Copies of this chain bind each other. A is one copy, B any other.
Amino acid sequence: MPYFDAASAAPLHPVARQALLAALDEGWADPARLHREGRRARLLLDAAREAAAEAVGCRPDELSFTSSGTRAVHSGISGALAGRRRVGRHLTVSAVEHSSVLHSAADHESRGGTVTEVPVDRSGAVDPAAYGAALREDTALACLQSANHEVGTVQPVAEVAGLCREAGVPLLVDAAQSLGLEPVPGGWSLLAASAHKWGGPAGVGLLAVRKGVRFAVQGPADERESGRAAGFEDIPAIVAAAASLRAVRAEAAAESVRLSALVDRIRSRVPVLVPDVEVVGDPVRRLPHLVTFSCLYVDGETLLHELDRAGFSVSSGSSCTSSTLTPSHVLKAMGVLSEGNVRVSLPAGTTEEDVDRFLDVLPGAVAGVREKLGAPAPAASAAPAASLVVDALGRRCPIPVIELAKVIGGVPVGGTVTVLSDDEAARLDIPAWCAMREQEYVGEEPADRGSAYVVRRLS
């Protein structure tokens, strides 16, 4: 049963499992105690820190173990902002950061700070020049992910780090998606990562803060982990995290090449096998194991269930799969289609056969969902009217786009279709559909309920 959601959580690496088991017996005591059990725990903790620091590319005393990648990001951002409070209260982030970064930014704003979100292009990458232009006199901190978690696009970290250095602004790199593959290029000031993304156990994040970076821990004092991660250390998990990081790094070079070829196969075959599909993210500057595509006229949640039934575990950035019923902020920032979105992220060891079976199953699964939803066939019908209004109020993604596609053939070239919708995803998906179909997106107008999205038929 192939699991294709490694970017959410990778299955536990065998080395992590072995190390965890060994450390359960040796590493349960309080490393702050003077007795032999405490000293033994301390030795394990110190050795894990040495190993992890080497993999990160920092000194052991620059590295703290947190309870998750999210905690590493929260503490890293709040500590760096507070440490440079005198410089100013401006924070720069990219628009496609992980929610832990964007939620930290929102928290900062709610306390009176200011935030600039640097936009990305259609591939999901920031432009280094645009990022550099967002740095100000009062910028206390800049954040940039090493690679995007939803579409796999690698960010220009080295270039942005250079611009940050010139501007005298510390750069926090969220390396959650890439640290198991390779070290982050130098030049960062703070780095955050998460063990369960590389096959380590849950419960371990990394926060590295370079010597010389001003840092003021927020919240109640605590003596653990240089004061940067409150609470009793989970040493068995930390040992497993460090051991597995070394192990996956040793395997990464060969495995990345193999997985990257499998992803290339998905990238090239999906648009051939499935009509009306958009493969998103940078095709070259990308993570080796991750690919994302969106399918017109498809409900992401239903497609996930169909694939799950066929034995494939994937994830989705479609609005119907999120608890807030809003589409992924990443797809939104890229301006690409969000409906019928599928993220495939291959764990180490994925076979060619698994991928081929997925490519066998996908077209039928998509067609099945489209049929259920009554999606339009390529050709269209009937006596053309000059303009039409489609009432899709109260209906969720992908219905508004399906209704639009059904009727567009019913207006003459030059005529318009107005879609009434109160679904948040429509704001993203109707313009995206227009771009894919080469129709003109005229714009959005206020309506009594929701919005009116106006589309002009061009062909």
Contacts and interface: CB of A to CB of B under 8 A. Distances in A.
A28 interface: yes
A221 B313 CA distance: 27
Interface in A3-28: 3, 5, 8-9, 11-12, 17, 20-21, 24-25, 28
Most chain B beta-carbon contacts within 10 A, residue among A35, A100, A104: A35
A243 B151 CA distance: 39
A3 B37 CA distance: 8
A70 B230 contact: yes
Contacts of A202: 28, 232-237
B24 A20 contact: yes
Interface stretch (A300-308, A368-376, A402-410, A448-456): A300-308
Interface size class of A (residues with CB under 8 A): 35 or more
A265 interface: no
B323 A203 contact: no
Nearest to A72: B231
A292 interface: no
A29 interface: yes
A37 B196 CA distance: 14
A5 B30 contact: yes
Contacts of A221: 103, 106-107
B24 A308 contact: no
Given A5-B33, A29-B9, A223-B323, A67 B203 contact: yes
Most chain B beta-carbon contacts within 10 A, residue among A232, A233, A314: A232
Nearest to A321: B34
Contact of A12 (B24, B194, B220, B222): B24
A315 interface: yes
B232 A313 contact: no
A289 interface: no
Interface string A192-212: 001010000111010000000
A230 B71 contact: yes
Contacts of A301: 34
Interface string A288-312: 0000000000000100110010000
Interface in A131-157: none
A169 B383 CA distance: 72
A176 B5 CA distance: 37
A308 B36 contact: yes
Given A202-B233, A220-B104, A233-B202, A196 B28 contact: yes
Nearest to A74: B220
A237 B1 contact: no
Interface in A28-86: 28-30, 32-38, 67-71, 74, 78
Interface of A: 1, 3, 5, 8-9, 11-12, 17, 20-21, 24-25, 28-30, 32-38, 67-71, 74, 78, 99-100, 103-104, 106-107, 194, 196, 201-203, 205, 219-223, 230-237, 301, 304-305, 308, 313-315, 321, 323
8 contacts: A5-B38, A17-B24, A34-B308, A103-B220, A103-B222, A107-B221, A196-B232, A202-B233
7 nearest A-B pairs in the assembled complex, by CB-CB distance: A68-B231, A67-B67, A203-B234, A35-B313, A103-B220, A70-B231, A202-B234
